[in-house]
Amino acid sequence: MGKFIFEGQLKADFEDRLLSHLQLVIGNKLRRGESFHFTWRDDASIGDGRTSIWLHPRSVLVYKFYGSRRAALNPAWLGALAHTANSPHGLYVVPEPAPDTETEAARFDEAN
């Protein structure tokens, strides 16, 4: 279980695999100078509510991963998360979709 730390104060736990995908989506938006909301459901241990933060290019973010290995990225999940990040509601966690097998096969063919 990794940690997402916002402005050195707010800490949220996410699975390492999800955190890797969030890091890429958030990083891409901030690199382009885009600000947006990021909302997630809180764990039952802290009230089972939700938290929403405003991310901007000057936000101080830390991604602390539990494991030492980089997670394999699912392009379909990156696309789904990016789609939410570009919506009026901002970024929120969606379930991981199955990888697009045609896209994955094409990438494999290009790499070999």
**Residues 93/80, Cβ–Cβ less than 8 Å:** no
Residue spans of the domains in the chain: they are 2-111
**Closest listed residue to residue 6, CA positions, set 39, 29, 43, 28:** 39
> Which pTM value belongs to this model?
0.84
87: how many CB neighbours lie within 10 A of its CB? 12
* Eight-state DSSP code of residue 77: H
Per-position pLDDT tens, the chain of length 112: 899 999 999 999 999 999 999 999 999 999 999 999 999 998 778 777 899 999 999 999 999 999 888 889 999 999 999 999 999 999 999 999 987 755 543 443 444 3
| 87 three-state secondary structure | coil
